C-alpha cells in the first residue's frame, strides 16, 4: 500500500522529530487500525519501505498442534507471514498518518514548552493578564505564546487583575497536563517576596546577606528575617536600601503590602523579640526549647502593637520563628508572679504550722511516760 514516507520524514524533521520516532508511531497506529478490520490476525506487524513509498501488513495465522504426552497443551504454531494489507486501506492509512504527524507535532511543541518552563520553577516571570470568561475563577497570564494559570488560591485578596496589564508572578509548578504543559503561577507565595528582593539587593545575590525565613499574609504584611554572612554589613540596611529605595521598589510590586525586616538570631529569645517588631519586648522567657514555646513580656502601652490587628503581628512572628509565642503585659505578669509567690509562701507557712503541731502533740504524749518512770527511779 502506498505511503509517501520520504515526504513524512521531511515534514517531521522540520519539527525536530527523528525518522525512527515517526516510523514507530506510524507502525503502531497502522497496526491498531488493521486490528479493527474484519478477520484481522492477532499476529501482525507493519513493514515500512521509505524507498518504495509503501507499507505492508504481514500477518500470521495460528495452526493447531497435536498434543503429546510431554506437552498435553501445546501452543499453536504460526503460519508463514503473508501480506494481509486490506485493499481499501489507503484512506485509513492517509488519515492515520495525518493523526500521527499531528500528535507528534503537539508532543514536540509541548516538550519544548515544558523544557523551557521547567527551569523557571521557583523563579519570577513577567506576563500579561488575559481574562477568560470560560474560566472566571482563574486568571490567565500570557507569557510569550504560552498561557500560565493564576488560580484563585494563589491570588492576593483585594488585588485587581485587569486585562492587558503587565504582571510579575512566581512560578509554583510546571507539569504535563492532558492538554499540554500546565504552568501554575502565584502572586501570594512568600517566595515571590524573596525573588523580588534578590532583583533589588546585590548583597543577596553575592551571598553577603541571606534571607533566613519569610512569613507572609499576602496583601497585608510580610515579615522577613535576615542575617549578614560578611562582617561589617548591615543586613537590614541592605534590604531597605539608601533612603528606603530598595524595599519601596519591592512594595510597589506587591501593591504597597507592608514589609517588616528583622534580624535573625540563633538565640530563640532574641529572635522572638525581634520578630514581634515594631513592638518592643521587654523580656522573652523560653518555656520549652523542645516544644518551641516562649512568652514575650510587653509593656501595657505596646500590647496591642505586639498582637497586631486581629492578631496579625503575633501570628506572623510565630510563622517567622516557628515558635509558639504567648504575649503578656509586664504588669499582668508581675501580678501573676506575685500572686504565685504569695500562694507558695502561704502553702509553706501552712506546712510549717502543721509540722509544729505534730511536734507539740508528740511532746504531750511523751510527758506521762516520763512521770511514770520517775517513782521507779526513786525506789
Whether 30 and 69 share a structural domain: yes
- Answer yes or no: do 248 and 278 share one domain: no
> Is the previous residue joined to 279 through a cis bond, with omega within 30 degrees of 0?
no
Report yes or no on 378 lying in a domain: no
pLDDT for 17 equals 85
pLDDT tens, 206-215? Answer: 999 999 999 9
pLDDT per residue as tens digits for the range 269-315: 999 999 999 999 999 999 999 999 999 999 999 999 999 999 999 99
Question: Does any domain span residue 89?
Answer: yes
φ/ψ (deg, to 5) at 221: -155, 150
In a domain, 74, yes or no: yes
CB-based burial, 112-125: b 16+ in 10 Å, e otherwise: ebbeebeebeeebb
CA distance 302 to 331: 12
Which segments of the chain does DSSP mark as H helices, in order? Answer: 5-14, 19-35, 90-118, 190-200, 202-206, 235-240, 245-253, 268-275, 303-307, 312-321, 330-378
Same domain for 174 and 69: no
349 or 37: which leads in pLDDT: 37
Mention every residue, 6+ apart, whose C-beta is less than 8 A from residue 24.
none
> d(Cα 334, Cα 297) in Å, to the nearest integer?
10
pLDDT tens per residue across span 114-146: 888 888 899 999 999 997 667 778 999 999 888
**Closest C-alpha among 84, 78, 95, 118 to residue 29:** 95
pTM for the full predicted model: 0.71
Would you say residue 301 lies in a domain? Answer: yes
**Are 360 and 283 in the same domain?**
yes
Domain total of the chain = 4
Which pLDDT score is estimated for 351? 73
The residue range of the domain holding 86 is: 5-118
Residue 41 grid coordinates = 490476525
CATH code for the domain of 135: 2.40.50.140
In a shared domain, residues 283 and 342: yes
Domain boundary among 264, 288, 304: 264
Residue 286 to residue 283: CA distance in whole angstroms: 10
Say if residue 176 is in the same domain as residue 256.
Answer: no
Residues 144 and 222 in one domain: no
Supply the CATH number for residue 358's domain. Answer: 3.30.300.20
Domain annotation covers residue 254: yes
Burial class (CB in 10 A: 0-12, 13-18, 19+), 136: exposed
Amino acid at each position: 500500500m502506498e505511503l509517501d514516507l520520504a515526504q513524512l520524514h521531511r515534514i517531521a524533521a522540520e519539527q525536530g522529530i527523528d525518522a525512527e520516532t515517526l516510523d514507530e508511531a506510524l507502525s503502531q497506529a497502522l497496526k491498531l487500525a488493521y486490528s479493527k478490520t474484519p478477520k484481522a490476525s492477532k499476529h501482525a506487524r507493519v513493514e515500512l519501505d521509505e524507498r518504495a513509498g509503501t507499507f505492508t501488513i504481514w500477518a500470521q495465522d495460528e495452526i493447531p498442534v497435536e498434543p503429546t504426552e510431554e506437552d498435553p497443551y501445546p501452543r499453536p504454531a504460526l503460519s508463514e507471514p503473508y501480506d494481509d494489507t486490506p485493499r481499501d486501506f489507503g484512506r485509513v492509512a492517509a488519515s492515520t498518518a495525518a493523526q500521527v504527524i499531528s500528535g507528534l507535532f503537539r508532543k514536540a511543541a509541548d516538550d519544548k514548552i515544558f523544557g523551557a518552563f521547567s527551569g523557571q520553577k521557583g523563579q519570577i516571570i513577567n506576563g500579561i493578564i488575559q481574562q477568560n470568561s470560560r474560566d472566571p475563577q482563574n486568571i490567565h497570564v500570557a507569557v510569550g505564546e504560552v498561557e500560565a494559570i493564576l488560580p484563585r488560591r494563589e491570588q492576593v485578596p483585594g488585588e485587581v487583575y485587569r486585562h492587558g496589564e503587565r504582571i510579575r508572578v512566581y512560578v509554583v509548578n510546571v507539569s504535563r497536563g492532558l492538554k499540554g504543559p500546565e504552568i501554575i503561577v502565584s502572586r501570594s507565595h512568600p517566595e515571590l517576596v524573596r525573588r523580588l528582593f534578590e532583583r533589588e539587593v546585590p548583597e543577596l545575590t553575592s551571598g553577603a546577606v541571606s534571607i533566613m525565613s519569610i512569613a507572609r499574609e499576602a496583601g497585608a504584611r510580610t515579615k522577613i528575617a535576615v542575617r549578614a554572612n560578611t562582617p561589617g554589613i548591615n543586613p537590614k540596611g541592605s534590604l531597605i536600601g539608601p533612603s528606603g529605595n530598595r524595599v519601596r521598589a519591592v512594595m510597589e510590586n506587591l501593591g504597597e503590602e507592608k514589609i517588616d525586616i528583622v534580624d535573625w538570631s540563633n538565640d530563640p529569645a532574641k529572635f522572638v523579640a525581634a520578630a514581634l517588631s515594631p513592638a518592643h519586648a521587654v523580656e522573652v522567657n523560653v518555656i520549652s526549647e523542645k516544644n518551641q514555646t516562649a512568652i514575650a513580656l510587653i509593656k501595657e502601652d505596646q500590647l496591642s502593637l505586639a498582637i497586631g490587628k486581629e492578631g496579625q503581628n503575633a501570628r506572623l512572628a510565630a510563622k517567622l520563628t516557628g515558635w509558639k509565642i504567648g504575649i503578656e503585659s509586664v504588669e499582668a505578669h508581675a501580678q501573676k508572679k506575685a500572686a504565685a509567690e504569695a500562694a507558695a509562701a502561704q502553702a509553706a507557712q501552712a506546712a510549717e504550722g502543721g509540722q509544729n503541731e505534730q511536734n507539740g502533740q508528740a511532746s504531750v504524749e511523751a510527758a506521762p511516760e516520763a512521770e511514770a518512770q520517775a517513782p521507779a527511779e526513786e525506789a
